[in-house]
A and B are shown apart, each in its own frame.
Chain A
Amino acid sequence: MKLTNVFRNLFSADNTFVFIILLPIVLLIAIFIYYPAVDTFQTSLTNENLRIRRPPKFIGADNYVKLVEDDEFWEVTGRSFVVVGLTLPLELAVAFSIAMLLNQRFPGRGMMRTLTILPWMLPPVVNGFLWGWLLNGEYGALNGLLYQFGLIDEYQYWLRAPETQILWVAVVQTWTRYAFPTIILLAGLQGIPDDLYDAAKVDGSNAWSRVRYITFPLLLPSFGIALVVEFIAAFQIFDVVWTLTAGGSAGGAINPFTKTLMLYNYELVFRDLRVGLGAAFSYIVLVMSLAVGLIFVLRVYNQGVHDK
């Protein structure tokens, strides 16, 4: 090929068009995402700490070793898995029930669907605040409601005990996110042909076995998508905890009982200014998220294949 042709191709109208359109996008992503990601990794290999005035020194994998040997690291990681372990079953149960309901035919279904999805669209920080106020120990609405129905004798401080704090974090996360799995499962339900149920009815199977042997197996792929997305959402929970139980908004210490991975990362970098350590931590979280995401996908799909 002649050189002039190469140039003509390179600067052809189409190539110029593509170049102008994609240049800002590629620049933004390179500058704001990939360059910092590489930079963060380099930082994770240094002992950079903004509290101590010293030039950062290369220390290899020491930060990673330090984190893995640190008790607080395992506490925080364990706590995040507790949040995930409480949230996912609760959330999927809520979502599945609501999806089954919305899959029925009844007047007002569209309106019902619109209202059901609302909480998902609100700012998660506001959701944390809403529930914090609802659960308030002195004037909270939950207390008032339970008292009026005679279920409690006196107002309770729902967010006082450390174990219940985690539980409520899971409940509020469920409230914030259940709409997404509901939509996914509803779409899955609507994709199941009615003939299957009719055939099963003719064969004399009851409602429960129809759900067990038709609905569940056919919904497995939908459950798979919902599980992966919601796992990542719960694993990286931040906003909801911040306003519900973190208690760290005015520069105070972050509540240790609900300190999950992302809050710990924030604390390491922006409160304690241990930048190198925080950078290493963020890479460990990256590996954990990707690994668990993959495991979930593979497991759910394998089960779907073998059970049939």
Chain B
Amino acid sequence: MNLGLRAQERLRLTFIYICCAIVLIWALAPIYWVAVSSISTRQELYAAPYKIWFPTQPTLDSYRTIFSTGAKFRSGGFSPTAELMSSGLRNSVIISVASSTIVTILATGAGYVFARMNFRGKNFIFLLIMLMLPLPIWVSLIALFFLMSELELVDTLVGIILIFVTLLLPLSVWMMTTFVRDIPGEIQDAARVDGAGRWRLVYSIILPLARPGMVAVFLVAMLWSWNNFLIPLIFSRSNDSQPLTIVLTLFIGQYEVAWEDMSAAAVVTMLPPFIMALFFQRYLVRGLTMGAVK
């Protein structure tokens, strides 16, 4: 059978779109279901054996519940869920914004120094930072916990931010170093000849040129620190410093099984990364693959 070119192309596209549909179901179905669960009424959500895939009476009650009234404990009493959710949201925002801002500033300076200057011990310090990458975190975590207790930084936002900044350093410094290296050197040389000092040079020439790199570092740091779970699991004790990832697991363990409320909490927890992934994916992918992909 000899198909015309157009028919052949149409067949090819049909096949491709069928494959796309399968991939999208695999990638998005769990996300779709939790979103639906969070806006379903109790009756519809617990319908069985026939599930209701599109809620007929969508409602935001679950969101209202987790942010206002407090959920039931297993033992019957009420717990201050609202308090947990709002403090979790607050802590997550403070921790991720502060860590990302600090690490972006530190990494930009370091990126310039490593890419453009020569000094004794440069390779050694660079290696010291990069060696953290393959190091399994537990090797440091155990003693770090006791160190943080002595410094009275356990269960504080400052403590978690300091650890996040440190853990983000290798990736961020690496990203900024490669980025600054790609900025043409002639402009800087001209500024040097004109007698601009290092600080002046970085401030007025490197910073504007390095802005896309800084945005990428900031976004990757935001995503990483928002999603992190292990560090606050160990270093947070109360709602003074517990971010949303921790609050979510407390819900799962502590409360009566109220899947619609837990789904709402899960949606709140994953919404910022979800939005970032939709709108800033190019930056994030470049950073998270460590330049393996341009």
Please give the residue numbers on chain A whose beta carbons come within 8 Å of chain B beta carbons, in ascending order.
13-15, 17-18, 21-22, 24-26, 28-29, 31-41, 43, 94, 98, 101, 104, 106, 108, 112, 114-119, 121-127, 129-134, 136, 138-139, 141, 143-145, 147-148, 154-155, 175, 180, 183-184, 186-187, 225, 232, 236, 238-239, 242-243, 248-252, 262, 265-266, 269-270, 275, 278-279, 281-283, 285-286, 289-290, 293
Say how far A87's CB is from chain B's closest CB, in angstroms.
15
Residues of B within 8 A of A33 (CB): 132, 135, 140, 166
Given A14-B117, A104-B16, A252-B253: A242 and B229 within 8 A (CB)? yes
Asked if B178 lies at the interface with its beta carbon under 8 angstroms from chain A, I say: no
Please give the residue numbers on chain B whose beta carbons come within 8 Å of chain A beta carbons, in ascending order.
13, 16-17, 19-20, 23-24, 26-31, 33-34, 37, 45-46, 48-51, 106, 109-110, 112-113, 117, 119, 125, 128-129, 132, 134-136, 138-147, 162-163, 165-166, 169, 173, 197-199, 223, 226-230, 233-234, 245, 248-250, 252-254, 259, 262-263, 266, 269-270, 273-274, 276-278, 281, 284-285, 288-289, 292-294
Which listed residue (B26, B45, B109, B117) contacts A139, Cβ 8 A?
Answer: B45
| Contact A115–B147 (Cβ < 8 Å) | no
Say how far A152's CB is from chain B's closest CB, in angstroms.
9
Residues of A within 8 A of B292 (CB): 183-184, 187, 225
A293 to B259, CA, bound (A): 40
Which listed residue (B30, B37, B46, B229) contacts A175, Cβ 8 A?
Answer: B30
Taking A125-B248, A131-B30, A175-B27 as given, write out 13 further A-B residue pairs in contact, using a Cβ cutoff of 8 Å, ordered by the A residue number: A24-B106, A28-B169, A32-B163, A36-B143, A39-B146, A43-B143, A114-B278, A122-B31, A125-B269, A134-B29, A175-B30, A243-B249, A269-B145
| Contact B142–A275 (Cβ < 8 Å) | yes
Residues of A within 8 A of B162 (CB): 28, 32
What 4 A-B pairs come out closest when comparing CB atoms? A144-B51, A250-B253, A249-B253, A39-B143
Closest to A12 in B: B119
| Contact A35–B147 (Cβ < 8 Å) | yes
Say how far A108's CB is from chain B's closest CB, in angstroms.
8
| Contact A121–B277 (Cβ < 8 Å) | yes
Given A147-B49, A285-B138: A117 and B277 within 8 A (CB)? yes
Main secondary structure of the interface of A (DSSP, over half): helix
| Contact A126–B270 (Cβ < 8 Å) | yes
A282 to B143, CA, bound (A): 11
A293 to B37, CA, bound (A): 41
A44 to B293, CA, bound (A): 40
Given A250-B250, A293-B134: A18 and B223 within 8 A (CB)? no
Closest to A114 in B: B281
| Contact B48–A144 (Cβ < 8 Å) | yes
Q: Would you give 24 A-B contacts (Cβ < 8 Å), ordered by A?
A: A14-B119, A15-B119, A18-B117, A21-B112, A28-B162, A29-B166, A34-B128, A36-B139, A38-B143, A112-B24, A116-B23, A122-B270, A122-B273, A123-B270, A125-B245, A129-B248, A134-B30, A134-B33, A139-B48, A183-B285, A183-B292, A249-B250, A252-B253, A269-B142
| Contact B248–A270 (Cβ < 8 Å) | no
| Contact A144–B50 (Cβ < 8 Å) | yes
Residues of B within 8 A of A108 (CB): 20
A220 to B141, CA, bound (A): 35
| Contact B139–A40 (Cβ < 8 Å) | yes
| Contact A133–B33 (Cβ < 8 Å) | yes
| Contact B169–A106 (Cβ < 8 Å) | no
Say how far A115's CB is from chain B's closest CB, in angstroms.
6
| Contact A21–B110 (Cβ < 8 Å) | yes
A282 to B139, CA, bound (A): 5
A290 to B294, CA, bound (A): 27
| Contact A121–B33 (Cβ < 8 Å) | no
**A24, A275, A285 pick with most chain B CB within 10 angstroms:** A24
Say how far B104's CB is from chain A's closest CB, in angstroms.
13
A24 to B169, CA, bound (A): 11
Residues of A within 8 A of B293 (CB): 183-184, 186-187
Residues of B within 8 A of A279 (CB): 142-143
**B50, B143, B228, B266 pick with most chain A CB within 10 angstroms:** B143
Residues of B within 8 A of A278 (CB): 142
| Contact B227–A36 (Cβ < 8 Å) | no
A184 to B294, CA, bound (A): 10
Closest to B284 in A: A121
A106 to B165, CA, bound (A): 41
